[in-house]
Amino acid sequence: MPCGSARDSITTEDGEELTIGPVGDGEMLVRDGDAVVGAPVPSGGGGSGAPLVTVLTGTGTFTPQPGTTKMRVRLVGGGGGGGGANSTGANSGAATGGGAGGYVEHIYTTVSGTYAYARGGGGGGGSAGNNAGSDGVDSTFDALTAAGGKGGGGGAEGTTLAVSAPGASSSGSSGGNVVVAEGAPGEGGIRFSTPNYRGGRGASSVFGGGGAAGSSSGGVGGNATAPGAGGGGATAASSTARAGGDGAAGTIIVEEWA
């Protein structure tokens, strides 16, 4: 909003009129109910104006520091586990990777009281055999929800062309006034014919780190390495069933400005 402008409202693409609240120099606009107001542009740098950053784990209650006037909260749900795969004799199997957790970002332009939170755990990989991985758990902060990623499907054994279906996106993320995005599904595994096959990779979250697929010679799915990412799908061969990789726990990051 240029300095000296007389406008006191804006109209959205849907025809909704929003009141323009206070906007300071260098601030970005965010929606707050029926208005748009100024909020600090997020910055991770040092020096004056840098936010106080807290990474929350487990479950509890967050109390802002005295003097905090605005907060940015980012959260991602736990990643889904990759599927396990089965093999007997010459049959091989390739499982689907786990899906990533949803991502939510919200800027609080007024801060008061305390805020309940819970970081979502990652889903376990499917056990050795044609077994699906477990879904990740939702991460929550106040009224914000970042949904857990979906577990990958198991890999059935066989000797002919087969593709395990890609996983599903996360579902149920809500509450953010900056970003609300569901996590990507895990990659499907593929079995061309024995011995050509591989499991599906786990989906990376907004922080990266999806689990690697089981090796083409038969291997467990890799564990996810970044918050909210999915575990890799397993590959099984030579009568040796394999387990899927674990999804990674989500995270909650709170930035406070005075």
- Residue 46 predicted with pLDDT over 50: no
β-pairing, 28-32 with 35-39?
Answer: antiparallel
State percent of the chain over pLDDT 70: 80
Q: How far apart are alpha carbons 104 and 85 in whole angstroms?
A: 33
Residue scoring higher pLDDT (255 or 166): 255
Q: What is the per-residue pLDDT across 80-126, written as a single tens digit (0 to 9) for each?
A: 999 999 998 888 899 999 999 999 999 999 999 999 999 999 999 99
What distance, in Å, lies between the first and last C-alpha atoms of the chain?
23
Lowest mean pLDDT among 62-66, 112-116, 158-162, 183-187: 158-162
- Residue 7 predicted with pLDDT over 70: no
- Residue 127 predicted with pLDDT over 60: yes
**Per-residue model confidence (pLDDT) at position 218:** 76
Q: Are 173 and 205 in contact (CB under 8 A)?
A: no
Q: What is the per-residue pLDDT across 191-248, written as a single tens digit (0 to 9) for each?
A: 876 666 889 999 999 999 999 998 877 799 999 999 999 999 999 988 899 999 999 9
Q: What is the per-residue pLDDT across 12-40, written as a single tens digit (0 to 9) for each?
A: 555 667 676 666 655 655 656 566 666 65
Mean pLDDT taken over the chain = 86
